[in-house]
Structure 1
Amino acid sequence: MAVLPMFPLGSVLLPGAVLPLQVFEPRYRALLRDCLAADAPDFGVVLIERGSEVGGGEHRSMIGTVARMIQVAELGDGRFAVVCVGTRRIRVNAWLPDDPYPLADVDDWPDDWPEDWRDDLESAATLLPQLADLRARVRRACALAGELGDGVFGDRLFGDGAAGDTDDVSDDPLVASYQLAALAPIGPADRFALLRAAGPAARIARLDEVMHDLEALLQFRLGGAGGLPSEGFGPGSDGRPRT
């Protein structure tokens, strides 16, 4: 167990993904200064399930990702411009009193996936073709979403890969499952469900379902057949993960 400073956000950080931040709220400026003074560039990021990023009182998820600061600049007006990268998944055991920023007792939560996965021929034979199909699905969905334009769902449309560039996706199913989840044009509810998946096999299967539905929705929209379905379809359309 470890105590980490925590930064609740309205978006989901995945291991391996890049997170740019502009930090202006005093308590989070204090968080960054304390991390820098202690030469400890890590803090936890969790999704705000209800409430706002500003002012406190939000309902925070119990699963998140450790963010490591790789670039920090203090701007003239007191704000910080920060670039972070997600490093590993964590579970929150308990939230501690804010001091002045959120703090939590956390444990690492590794994926259910062996390092020697290539030696498991059955798993490799199953997952690698699924991964190739999913890479193509994500690329197609990003292309379709690009034709519709940013903001079509009333939120930031794209993930980390607005151009749908899947060429550099790893052939390791664990790494690739997070990379494709970050690239996919989905909302925070679906992305959080992918973060929660037990391991890459479950994450790949779930993302494939999400991409299948999303591709059909985007083709429907491009066909000019009318408005969006009211709920349960598309990236975070009702703010809840698929079940």
Structure 2
Amino acid sequence: MPTELPMFPLGTVLFPGEALPLQVFEPRYLTMVDHCLAQPDRLRFGVVLIARGHEVGGGDDRTGVGTIARITSCRPGGGARLLIGSVGEQRIRVDEWLPDDPYPRAVVTEWPDEPSDVSDAAAGELTDRLAEFADLFARFSVRQGRPALPVPVWADLPGTDGDRGFALARSLPIGAIDRLRVLSAPGPGDRVLVLCDALADVVAALRFRLADPGGAE
């Protein structure tokens, strides 16, 4: 059912299951955190990507798909600043933005994954793209003198196909727009296809950097 939720527009996309640390210092968001902490059943706020504009000061354009974040910790950060720990939970659609007084709010509806199977062909393509990315990323890391981080294997990720898609996306160096495309994919099958496209762009960028003698700069 649609529900009113405090909202925190950011310059990033939050996935379900992803940790989100925040430094809160704007008066409107300090007020929002006070509201959330007032009762145990209020420890949630929505996170959406700012399409245009800035995180501080308002006046931004916001996307209509986001994720509910649950506050897991809160401590003073010095001065009028709070350090918030939170984690993404359920994907949401924004039905209506409400006035930003005293802080951003919206009427939202939870958006569970829609039925969409991951085909063997799509899983195979994603596996191949991941292997190619892992090889190129390892070579690029060596050039930079840094250890290469492990790249997940699709078949080894736990949970449902929907969970695995979000877990994989959390670990990949993809930009905000591709992250939004992953979040906005209706179901697991669609999400895998988006991940394949996003990985193709990352692989192309790595090949270009490796072919450029100055690409490690």
Question: Which moves more between the two structures, 168-177 or 67-76?
Answer: 168-177
Q: Report what 2:169 is aligned to.
A: 181
What's the offset of the Cα at 1:205?
1.0
Give, in whole Å, the separation in 2 of the partners of 1:145 and 1:103.
43
Pick aligned residue for 1:90 from 70, 92, 106? 92
Helix, strand or coil for the counterpart of 2:83?
strand
What's the offset of the Cα at 1:197?
0.6
Give, in whole Å, the separation in 2 of the partners of 1:144 and 1:82.
36
Instruction: Name the CA shift for 1:127/1:221 in 2 (closer, same or farther; >3 Å).
Output: closer
Q: Cα RMSD over matched residues?
A: 2.5
Q: Show CA shifts across 1:157-209 (max 9, x none).
A: xxxxx934426732531111011111110110111011111111111111112
Q: Report what 1:78 is aligned to.
A: 80
What's the offset of the Cα at 1:113?
3.2
Q: Report what 1:27 is aligned to.
A: 28
Q: Report what 1:238 is aligned to.
A: none
* Residues 16, 179 of structure 1: 8 Å contact kept: yes
- The structure showing larger relative contact order (alpha-carbon pairs under 8 Å, at least 6 residues apart) is 2
Task: Percent identity, please.
Answer: 43
Instruction: Name the CA shift for 1:132/1:170 in 2 (closer, same or farther; >3 Å).
Output: farther
Instruction: Name the CA shift for 1:106/1:74 in 2 (closer, same or farther; >3 Å).
Output: same
Which portions of structure 1, spanning 4 or more consecutive aligned residues, are displaced by more than 3 angstroms? Answer: 123-149
So what's the TM-score if we normalise by structure 2?
A: 0.85
Give, in whole Å, the separation in 2 of the partners of 1:63 and 1:144.
36
Helix, strand or coil for the counterpart of 2:86?
strand
Q: Report what 2:60 is aligned to.
A: 58
What's the offset of the Cα at 1:125?
4.5
Give, in whole Å, the separation in 2 of the partners of 1:46 and 1:174.
20
Q: Report what 1:101 is aligned to.
A: 103
Q: Write out aligned runs for 1:103-182 (5 A).
A: 103-113=105-115, 125-126=120-121, 128-130=123-125, 132-133=127-128, 135-137=130-132, 139-140=134-135, 142-143=137-138, 146=141, 163-166=149-152, 169-170=157-158, 172-182=160-170
Give, in whole Å, the separation in 2 of the partners of 1:113 and 1:141.
34
What's the offset of the Cα at 1:130?
4.8
Q: Show CA shifts across 1:111-147 (max 9, x none).
A: 1138xx7xxxxx5645654554455355446545645
Q: 2:217 aligned with 1:210, yes or no?
A: no
Q: Which runs of 5+ in 2 are unaligned?
A: none
Instruction: Name the CA shift for 1:164/1:29 in 2 (closer, same or farther; >3 Å).
Output: farther
Helix, strand or coil for the counterpart of 1:44?
strand
Give, in whole Å, the separation in 1 of the partners of 2:162 and 2:194.
14
Question: Which moves more between the two structures, 96-105 or 128-137?
Answer: 128-137
Question: Which moves more between the two structures, 166-175 or 205-214?
Answer: 166-175
Give, in whole Å, the separation in 2 of the partners of 1:187 and 1:224.
22
* Residues 136, 207 of structure 2: 8 Å contact kept: no
What's the offset of the Cα at 1:38?
2.1
What's the offset of the Cα at 1:33?
1.1
Relative to its length, the structure with more helix (as a share) is 2
Q: Report what 2:15 is aligned to.
A: 14
